[in-house]
DNA sequence: TTCTATATAGACTGGTCATTATAATTTTGG
DNA sequence: CCAAAATTATAATGACCAGTCTATATAGAA
């Protein structure tokens, strides 16, 4: 009980949050260390290659964490159309599991690699590929659910990508407009889009 | 003839390209000045409030430029479904108007405020609102086209937002995966989505 | 000419960046 | 209890950051 969170984990948790919230370039190592109450020496002890190695770890952990979250949500409802629609609606009120978040919109950003992906897509191949892997993994969860629901392979793959595009785009719009509406609207349209 | 491009315009053009390609925080004023062959004195002469004021101008100009581009494309085909589908396909091979761009994917980024929007959505209200205005303007072009095509007001507004979400999301995925596929796939699905 | 506004030129500021090096400390195993 | 390993502490590095400042043109008007 009362298990201590290791310095390494505190660094990763804080870094993940800040990278996703502010971006890779706007987040300084000093800020990460201060907010995680970690000493500077420790950062380069656990991540000898520095900031990029830390960010890579953050992206990879987000990939598996979000994949797990999507799977858990989708498994709750058999019908793929209804389960996906329901999942998108739940993105909004979702991540208040983390206690210290005030705006639910910030919570949305914290389960996304959208910003880091765009920042690094033309300047850092290592991080770009990590984000690419995350997007592929998440898209694949939708595709699998559609396959289980009886869609043929080609349709399931295309629609998986369409859903992933819509979700990522609606996240951008919801964050930029500080409004739930984009996410709610695409959730509302899921039944029509998948009715093929 | 042989009209000289003013220093102010050279700064704006270079800054717009770099902000959209690398992001707001990753782009330094020195890089902008060097690539536009402009002196530092001029930057603060034309933009006394500095980097933020420059970025604001870049976003606002992108808003009207992209709006104009979308309108020009959509007007070419009467049927809203077909015209929007066609437009999305054309985003890919689109902006080779600018001569010095090599990758067509970079061209995509250069007509987007996606990255700046995410970077500033939780840290800079001025720039966030400028991006919000751009997204709203572009979404409204789709909505208007759907209204002209006989969709009722509510449907047109919802679907306008869905299209804008899909396009922005597919841009993120296409850039991250360095592949045209996401944009092509959503274009392919437009007829089904708008068939209501 | 002289005056004034517009524009360019570049050095300089204080601060922060990621990273490195080295020393001190704590923890752990024998 | 000691020695080795794991971790933390601190200082300093050079590069770059946005922004300020002063000097210098350049042009048209009086």
pLDDT over 80 (residue B89) = yes
Render pLDDT for B116-140 as a digit per residue (tens, 0 to 9). 999 999 999 999 999 999 999 999 9
Which of strand D's nucleotides are less than 7 A from any protein C-beta? 7-11, 16-23
Q: Return the pLDDT at B97.
A: 41
pLDDT tens string for chain A (196 positions)? 345 688 899 999 999 999 999 999 999 999 999 999 988 889 999 999 999 999 999 999 999 999 999 999 999 999 999 999 999 998 887 544 444 444 567 677 667 899 999 999 999 999 999 999 999 999 999 999 999 999 999 999 999 999 999 999 999 999 999 999 999 999 999 999 998 7
Q: Return the pLDDT at A123.
A: 93
For B154-188, give one letter per residue: b (16+ CB within 10 A) or e: eebbbbbbbbbbbbbbbbbbbbbbeebebbbbbbe
Residue A81 to chain B, least CA–CA distance (Å) = 14
Chain A residue at shortest CA distance from B190: A193
Q: Return the pLDDT at B2.
A: 39
pLDDT over 90 (residue B92) = no
pTM, two decimal places: 0.91
Nearest to B128 among A165, A176, A189 (CB): A176
Cα dihedral angle (B101, B173, A182, A68), rounded to 10 degrees?
-160
Q: Which of B101, B104, B171 shows the shortest CA–CA distance to B135?
A: B171
Residue B2 to chain A, least CA–CA distance (Å) = 33
Q: Return the pLDDT at B94.
A: 57
Chain B residues lying within 8 Å of A171, measured CB to CB: 169
Q: Is the CB of A52 under 7 A from strand C?
A: yes
Render pLDDT for B152-176 as a digit per residue (tens, 0 to 9). 999 999 999 999 999 999 999 999 9
Nearest to B165 among A26, A119, A173 (CB): A173
Q: Which of B63, B168, B20 shows the shortest CA–CA distance to A121?
A: B20
**Which long-range contacts does A71-77 make (Cβ < 8 Å, 24+ apart)?**
A71/A141, A74/A141, A74/A142, A74/A145
CA dist., res. A112 & res. A104, Å (int):
13
> What topology is assigned to B52-193 in CATH?
Tetracycline Repressor; domain 2 (1.10.357)
Q: Return the pLDDT at B1.
A: 36
Residue B125: both structure tokens together? 């209200």
Q: What percent of chain B has pLDDT over 70?
A: 90
Degrees to nearest 5, angle at CA B195 with B86 and B146: 60
Q: Return the pLDDT at B6.
A: 84
pLDDT over 50 (residue B102) = no
Q: What is the DSSP string of chain A?
A: --PPPPHHHHHHHHHHHHHHHH-TTT--HHHHHHHTT--HHHHHHH-TT-HHHHHHHHHHHHHHHHHHHHHHHHTT-SSHHHHHHHHHHHHHTTTTTSTT---HHHHHHTT--HHHHHHHTTT-HHHHHHHHHHHHHHHHHHHHHHHHTT--HHHHHHHHHHHHHHHHHHHHHHHHHT-SHHHHHHHHHHHHHT--
Q: Return the pLDDT at B115.
A: 96
Which protein residues have a C-beta closer than 7 A to any atom of strand D?
Answer: A 7, 38-42, 45; B 27-31, 40-41, 44, 50-52
Nearest to B196 among A162, A172, A192 (CB): A192
Chain B residue at shortest CA distance from A138: B173
Q: Do B168 and A167 touch (CB under 8 A)?
A: no
Nearest to B177 among A132, A172, A196 (CB): A132
Residue A167: both structure tokens together? 């979700």
Chain A residues lying within 8 Å of B173, measured CB to CB: 135, 161, 164-165, 168
Q: Do A166 and B165 touch (CB under 8 A)?
A: yes
pLDDT over 60 (residue B99) = no
The domain limits of chain A are 52-193
Mutation site, A168, A182, A193, interface B, largest B CB count within 10 A: A168
Burial class of residue B147 (count of CB atoms within 10 Å of its CB; 0-12, 13-18, 19+): middle
Chain A residues lying within 8 Å of B169, measured CB to CB: 164-172
Q: A with B: how many residue pairs have Cβ under 8 Å apart? A: 154
Q: Return the pLDDT at A100.
A: 41
Q: Is the CB of A46 under 7 A from strand C?
A: no
D2 C1' to A36 CA distance, Å? 34
Nearest to B173 among A165, A185, A186 (CB): A165
Q: Return the pLDDT at A133.
A: 98
Chain A residue at shortest CA distance from B28: A25
Which of strand C's nucleotides are less than 7 A from any protein C-beta? 7-12, 16-23
Q: Do B162 and A177 touch (CB under 8 A)?
A: no
Render pLDDT for B24-66 as a digit per residue (tens, 0 to 9). 999 999 999 999 998 888 999 999 999 999 999 999 999 999 9
Count of C-beta atoms within a 10 Å radius of residue A14 = 20
């Amino acid at each position: 009980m009362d298990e201590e969170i290791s310095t390494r984990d505190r660094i990763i948790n804080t870094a993940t949050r800040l990278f996703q919230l502010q971006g890779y370039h706007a987040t300084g190592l000093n800020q990460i260390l201060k907010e995680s109450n970690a000493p500077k020496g420790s950062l380069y002890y656990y991540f000898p290659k520095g900031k990029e190695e830390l960010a890579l770890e953050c992206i990879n952990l987000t990939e598996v964490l979000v994949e797990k979250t999507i799977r858990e949500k989708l498994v709750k409802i058999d019908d793929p159309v209804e389960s996906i629609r329901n999942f998108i609606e739940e993105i909004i009120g979702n991540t208040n599991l983390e206690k210290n978040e005030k705006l639910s919109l910030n919570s949305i950003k914290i389960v996304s690699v959208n910003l880091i992906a765009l920042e690094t897509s033309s300047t850092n191949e290592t991080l770009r590929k990590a984000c690419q892997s995350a997007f592929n993994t998440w898209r694949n969860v939708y595709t699998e659910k559609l396959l289980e629901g009886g869609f043929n392979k080609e349709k399931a793959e295309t629609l998986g990508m369409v859903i992933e595009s819509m979700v990522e785009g609606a996240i951008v719009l919801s964050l930029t407009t500080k409004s739930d509406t984009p996410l709610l609207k695409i959730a509302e349209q899921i039944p029509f889009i998948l009715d093929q």
